[in-house]
Amino acid sequence: MIINKVVIPVAGWGTRSLPATKNIPKEMLPVYKKPTVQYVVEEAMTSGLNNVVFINNQNKKIIEDHFDYNLTLERVLERGGKEKLLAEVRQVAEMVNIISVRQKVQLGLGHAVLCAREAVKNDNFAVMVGDDLLFGAEPGIKQLIDVARSENMAVVGVMEVPQSKVSNYGIIAGEEINPGKYKVRNLVEKPPVSEAPSRLAVIGRYVLTPEIFEHLEKVEPGVGGEIQLTDALQGLAKANRLLAVKIHGQRFDAGDWVDYLTANIYFALHDEDLRDDLVQRLRELLSCS
Ligand code: UTP
């Protein structure tokens, strides 16, 4: 199974992150020193996904620009002898090939993926949600690609969430066929706690086969009036064509303020130049709160 394309939907309105996102895309809010979406693209690149399809909207062109050259800035850095910074900003433009597709109306994640149909053609592809951050020994999407290749099947990434959080996610029901690997029988989008079939939540990483587009075509608006990707995945599950893999790593939903702020601290704590001062300031803050 060849998988070198990834669809990264970034066209949503980011209402949970307002007012910060009134004019700045949620995916461009910085986590530590980089915009959120750069971490997602880096994860794609290190997993061999060199062809990125952004699903974008007309107000978020800045996302594509971030992955392009900024020749004026480069000249300034060059003149100032700032070689390290110059290499860093150039490298962002050279990471991946980018195609951008407009989602003209924000009808949900499923609809965003359907917008990629012409760009993806008849290939297998990954989907990485543009505000979902994963860090660990092995890139999150690579963990799914390995299983999709060996099983020749679509795979969704899942993580165990507390019972109280199941209503925020798509939840799977399935049989564990190997440790951390499940045959998916059913998926429910944002179930009430009492109706959740498990605590295994679908997170923003998928490897899909092109047959998903036929299912997406048929999906009617579901939870929240949106075309849900979960509902199309149901079609694959019913045909016994869907696996789930428990992803290992730290996950942050950049659209959630607690996760967003924690992600900033997580990275800063990994920077030796900042760590001690930051810990000191956090201690001071905690002692006066
Ligand atoms: P979210 O579920 O976080 O939705 O989307 P959102 O609309 O951006 O944010 P809130 O809930 O209003 O705060 C997950 C990812 O899917 C993209 C978003 O840009 C985000 O990266 N998305 C969502 C689309 O591309 N199109 C859509 O119609 C919806």
| DSSP H stretches of helix in the chain | 36-46, 61-66, 71-79, 83-93, 109-114, 117-120, 140-151, 212-218, 229-238, 257-269, 272-288
Kindly give the pairing relationship between strand 242-246 and strand 154-160. parallel
pLDDT at 104: 95
Ligand 1 center–CA 271 separation, angstroms? 30
Percent of the chain with pLDDT over 90: 95
Mean pLDDT of 195-214: 96
pLDDT at 51: 97
pLDDT band of residue 144 (cuts 50, 70, 90) is: very high
What is d(CA 6, CA 44) in angstroms, rounded to the nearest whole number? Answer: 7
pLDDT at 222: 81
- The answer, yes or no, to whether residue 1 has pLDDT greater than 90, is no
- The answer, yes or no, to whether residue 289 has pLDDT greater than 80, is no
What is d(CA 141, CA 202) in angstroms, rounded to the nearest whole number? Answer: 13
Ligand 1 center–CA 129 separation, angstroms? 8
- The answer, yes or no, to whether residue 197 has pLDDT greater than 90, is yes
pLDDT at 49: 97
Mean pLDDT of 134-154: 96
CB 195 within 8 A of CB 170: no
Ligand 1 center–CA 289 separation, angstroms? 34
Whose Cα sits closest to atom 22 in ligand 1?
Answer: 12
- The answer, yes or no, to whether residue 61 has pLDDT greater than 80, is yes
What is d(CA 142, CA 144) in angstroms, rounded to the nearest whole number? Answer: 5
- The answer, yes or no, to whether residue 37 has pLDDT greater than 80, is yes
Mean pLDDT of 44-55: 97
Mean pLDDT of 59-82: 96
Global confidence as pTM: 0.95
Domains of the chain: 3-255 (3.90.550.10)
Residue 211 DSSP symbol: T
Question: What is the atom index within ligand 1 of the atom nearest the CA of 55?
Answer: 25
Ligand 1 center–CA 124 separation, angstroms? 23
- The answer, yes or no, to whether residue 127 has pLDDT greater than 80, is yes
Q: Find the helix or strand (DSSP H, E) in which 181 lies.
A: strand 181-189
223 lines ligand 1 (CB under 6 A): no
Q: Phi-psi bin for 198: left (phi > 0), alpha (psi -120 to 50), beta?
A: beta
Ligand 1 center–CA 6 separation, angstroms? 17
**pLDDT tens digit string along 225-255?**
889 999 999 999 999 999 999 999 999 999 9
99: buried, middle or exposed (CB in 10 Å: 19+, 13-18, 0-12)?
middle
Mean pLDDT of 23-41: 96
Q: Ligand 1 pocket check: which of 26, 104, 131, 219 to mutate, most ligand atoms within 8 Å of Cβ?
A: 131
Three-class SS state of 223: helix
